[in-house]
Structure 1
């Protein structure tokens, strides 16, 4: 898995959208945003003890599979457009890439997009309440296992949802410390120039 800050181009969403020069984001930075990641053996997902351990520890007891491509997904154009609309969920979004590749974009505390490139073997968890979106990359294909705690909830809440309790929890759990640092920095700068 790789991650980087996105440029502001309105070009094809399936392109990498690197800034110039590229500005990569570490796994540690993603973890600060609540993003979890594992690299697993996608060829043996049915018997992989590491996947079973993660599922047991995190309570992921429901699974299904999705193939995202123009040939494999009914109503592809509508669905890929919906996936790319900025939204949040009230539950984690857990995806295990079994084949192909694609991008999950997540907002950082300063509202900048971070693009996360997942490939075969990557399992990613986006926290409940995080603003994010998904698109394929230029390979135009991804097969993923979707995991859930309990019955799946598919409801996306398109931005803005800042008053939603789950969004508020996300801000308090993952963004508040960073936002407080920004406020202190701005206050210090203001005091120095006053």
Structure 2
């Protein structure tokens, strides 16, 4: 089950769980309200046959799917890739990840520009909105296998911060200020 908490500003080791002591946890409901990040729990043992992922894909218009494995053994230029994933950036499309195996961290900025770390593991699916500043890293096990879902053709291009003049960022900030609608978990 996913957990989220506010992080300290420490950035020296991306694989450590830098957080306040004691951590200030964020509920899934508050995570959505503060960032627009949505969460879904899927069964990794039955998702290919139970119809839950297929229903989500149909409802949300996800038409493209692939899989990524992040590990020293499977990802070419591993160290470079992990560093680039950890650069604070945004995308012009939603970032949808369904963790099939392993675990990692997605860090997202809230409306006060504070980092919230989201620990994901097998069965967790998160939807990171277009225009939100975020980053990704692995935990100390250095392994994750995840499905990546897209609406239409995949867009891989990250836009590193600052990207405040981009239309997707302006739209995200507007949604953040107006408040996100109630999420359906």
Please tell me whether the aligned partners of residues 37 and 125 of structure 1 are also in contact (alpha carbons under 8 angstroms): yes
Question: Shift in Å at residue 132 of structure 1?
Answer: 0.2
Supply the distance in 1 between the matched residues of 2:101 and 2:45 (Cα, whole angstroms).
9
Supply the distance in 2 between the matched residues of 1:116 and 1:10 (Cα, whole angstroms).
16
User: Where does structure 2 lack aligned partners over 5 or more consecutive residues?
Assistant: 180-185
Which structure is higher in RCO with an 8 Å CA cutoff and minimum separation 6? Answer: 2
Question: Shift in Å at residue 45 of structure 1?
Answer: 2.7
Matched, 1:23 2:24: yes
Supply the distance in 2 between the matched residues of 1:150 and 1:43 (Cα, whole angstroms).
27
Supply the distance in 2 between the matched residues of 1:152 and 1:16 (Cα, whole angstroms).
30
Which residue does 1:7 correspond to in 2? 8
User: Where does structure 1 lack aligned partners over 5 or more consecutive residues?
Assistant: 179-194
Which residue does 1:138 correspond to in 2? 140
Question: Shift in Å at residue 16 of structure 1?
Answer: 1.1
Indicate which of 118, 121, 126 corresponds to 1:119. 121
Supply the distance in 2 between the matched residues of 1:153 and 1:54 (Cα, whole angstroms).
20
Question: Shift in Å at residue 9 of structure 1?
Answer: 2.1
| Structure with larger Rg | 1
- Matched residues, number: 177
Question: Cα RMSD over matched residues?
Answer: 1.1
Supply the distance in 2 between the matched residues of 1:119 and 1:14 (Cα, whole angstroms).
15
Question: Shift in Å at residue 86 of structure 1?
Answer: 0.3
Which residue does 2:154 correspond to in 1? 152
Please tell me whether the aligned partners of residues 43 and 98 of structure 1 are also in contact (alpha carbons under 8 angstroms): no
TM-score of the superposed pair, with normalisation by structure 2: 0.93
Supply the distance in 2 between the matched residues of 1:164 and 1:149 (Cα, whole angstroms).
20
